[in-house]
Each structure stands twice: as C-alpha cells, then as structure tokens.
Structure 1
Amino acid sequence: MARPREFDEAAVLDAAMHCFWQRGYEQTSMRDLAGEMGMTSASMYNAFGDKRALYRRALDHYLAQTVRDRIARFAPLPPLAALRGFFTEIVERSVADRQRRGCMLVNSALEVAPHDAGFRRLVAGELEFVEAFFRRCIAAGQQDGTITAHPPAEKLAKLLLSLLLGIRVLARTRPQRAVLDGAAQAALALLQPEPPATVPGHGSDGPPG
C-alpha cells in the first residue's frame, strides 16, 4: 500500500513556481528548489522527478493561476470590455511586479523553448490558446458592431498577441505605467469602429428641414 504524501502539493508547487519564476530555469538549482519547497532532495525527486519535470509542473501551475484563470474571467464579458479588461489587468500586474519577473510563460519562450522541443510545443500551444481568445472576442465584436470590421479578426488577434508579448517583455526593463498603458491603449484604439459618415446637409448643425 502506497504511503500518503506528507506535503501539500499545491503549496510546494507554488514555492517551486516562484523559485523558477524569480531565478529562471538555468539559474535555479535543485538545492534552491528543495530549500524553497521545504523538502529533501530525495522526497522532491520521488514526488516530481528531475528538474525539467518539476519545471513543467511549476509552469502548468503558473498557467492555471494566470493565463487560463484570466481568460476564464474575462471571456463572459462583452467583446471590447473583455479585451480592455484583459490588458488593464496585464498592465496592473506588470507595474506591481517589483521584482520584474515578467511572465513565466514568456520567460520560458525565451529561455527554455528554443532548446527543448517539448517546451516549444507547450509554449506555442499556450500562445495559440491566448490568440484564440482574442480572435473570438474580435469576431464577436465585429458581429455586433463594437469592433472595427477591418482588418479581419485573424490579423487583429495576432496584433494583440504581439502587444501582449511586447508588454510582458518591456515590463522587465521599463515597468512604468505610462509606457505599458500607452502601448496597450494605442493598440486597443485600433479596434474602435469608424463613426458613420455624415451626409452633407443632414448633420446636426445643418439648417432645419
């Protein structure tokens, strides 16, 4: 009969997540992890495997708390409100990150994914998940007239994904609200539909009929 685990899995994964998030994959040692997680090396290996396997679990833990939770919360809102809320929260969290850790997913894309096919697929899949959320919001907004009909939703979704990645990278070096919010608002302004053209002689300032 297997012995029950003598630790809180969510708590130790949270500790591992913060350790990797702060130091990065290469700069985090198994000794660092054992100290942060409050486990012996043997217990850690038995529970989670090697460093790569633990990093994967920690990254999944991060994604569940951030990317997937955020999309689940904003998806039910009206399309434009969902996108504005999403980026407002991204800016707020970036500005509040005094340690300048950035986004663990983006950090993984830059540090780990180029050298590891498994993580490359994971990162690509997660970015596609975010892009699909943007695309759904834009398509719905184009349908109800709250978002410009041109360019098509596919192109605008890629623009917003690029904006997201840019903000998260920029926040590592220039986490000023004016910089990050300025970038977000400029891109979101492109989603606004153009006002209807005024027919000469029929405007509000024209002579009475």
Structure 2
Amino acid sequence: MAGGRPRAFDSDEALDRALEMFWRQGYEGTGIADLAKAMGINPPSLYNAFGNKQVLFQKVLDHYADGPARYIREAFEQPTARAAIEQLLHGAADATTDPDHPRGCLTVQGGLACAPASAGARDELATRRAAGETALRARLEQARAEGELPDDADPDGLARYFSTIYQGLAVQAAGGASREQLHKVVDFAMCVWPSQTSI
C-alpha cells in the first residue's frame, strides 16, 4: 500500500478525505502533508493524481458540489422560484448541521481569511459564491417574467438577501446553532417573499 504505485487508491475516497480536511481546517490551515496523510497517499502520488494544492482544492469543491452540497442543484429543480429558494435554505440548514460532516459550509468558510499566497483559493470561493447569487437572480427574474413575482419585485435585491441568509446559516451553524434554530430562521426569511397583492 505504501509502495508508491500510482493510482493504487480510490480517487473518490481520497477526495472525500481531502474534502474533510479542507472543510475542518480551511484552505490556509491545511498543508500538503496533512492532505497526503488523510488521503492515504504520499505527496508525490498526490501531485501526480491531483496536481498542486490549489488544483486539488478546486477538485474538492467540485466533489463537494456533487456530494454534501448536491441539495443546491436539487433545489433549483423545483417548479417555482419560491419552492426552489425555500428548499435551498432548508437544505442548507440540514447540510450545515449534518453530524456526519464538519459544521458550516466549505464554500463560505474555506478561504475567508487567506495569506496573499493563497489568494487563488479565496478568489475561487468568491467566484463560486457569486455564481450562486447570479443563479438566484436569474431564477427570480424568470419568476417575475412568468408572473410568479409581482412586476415591482426586485430580483437583484432579493437574490442578495437570500444569498446573505444562505451564507449566514453556514456561519451560524459553525458557531453552534441547532438545526431547529436554523430552520426557524429560514421560515422568518421567507416572510419577505413579495406577494402578488403588494403595491
């Protein structure tokens, strides 16, 4: 097992272990030696299979999107914008308090504080968060065009609001808030949904 044969490991399992490390310790706090040990491979094999630390981090983020954060994609499959956002936020409340994973959200907490040398990881996370807000805005604009939202609704403001709630849930979860408390926050947050009778 330690003989250094290339690819003599399960790639998905190795990514799971790297994900756990980055999620617990953040990008800055996770070193190559930590990653190699957690993934059960030596550093040369890690570089050969996954590239450098930043490339590995990007692969971990993609793995995260397909795994613990797949609820995001599933939420956007809902037939209405309101159902999509409600499922997204309740999904975040569940995911960020899942006892099988570290608390919080990798994309929110993974690289908020980074040294200049790690700016690439911080920027990658910021780009992914911005893409999420853009997707929300597009869904809300579609909802307004289709009559689900009133004509005077503000898709841009709503997208920023719900993105802020979404990220705040992760921060609250990391700080120890319970799943029940976070679901209550979501219920309050949805109270701002514009009604068709608004003027």
Identify the TM-score tier after normalising by the shorter chain: 0.7 to 0.9
2:71 corresponds to? 70
Q: Tell me which of 14, 17, 29 is aligned to 1:15.
A: 17
Q: Distance in 2 between matches of 1:174 and 1:192?
A: 31
C-alpha RMSD of matched pairs (Å): 2.7
Q: How does 1:157-172 map to 2 (within 5 A)?
A: 157-172=159-174
Ranked by relative contact order (alpha carbons within 8 Å, sequence separation 6 or more), the top structure is 2
Q: Structure 1 residues 173, 109: closer, same or farther in 2, change over 3 A?
A: same
Count of matched residue pairs = 194
2:83 corresponds to? 81
Partner-residue secondary structure (3-state), 1:112? coil
Give structure 2 stretches of 5+ with no counterpart: none
Give the TM-score taking structure 2 as reference length. 0.81
- Greater mean alpha carbon deviation, residues 78-87 or residues 103-112: 103-112
Q: Distance in 2 between matches of 1:96 and 1:9?
A: 23
Q: Structure 1 residues 46, 60: closer, same or farther in 2, change over 3 A?
A: same
Give structure 1 stretches of 5+ with no counterpart: 198-209
Q: What's the CA shift for 1:182?
A: 2.5
CA contact (8 A) 1:146 1:192 kept: no
Per-residue CA distance 1:130-155 (angstroms, 9 max, x = gap): 11221123223323443354441011
Q: Tell me which of 134, 137, 146 is aligned to 2:136.
A: 134
Q: Distance in 2 between matches of 1:80 and 1:41?
A: 46
Q: What's the CA shift for 1:57?
A: 2.5
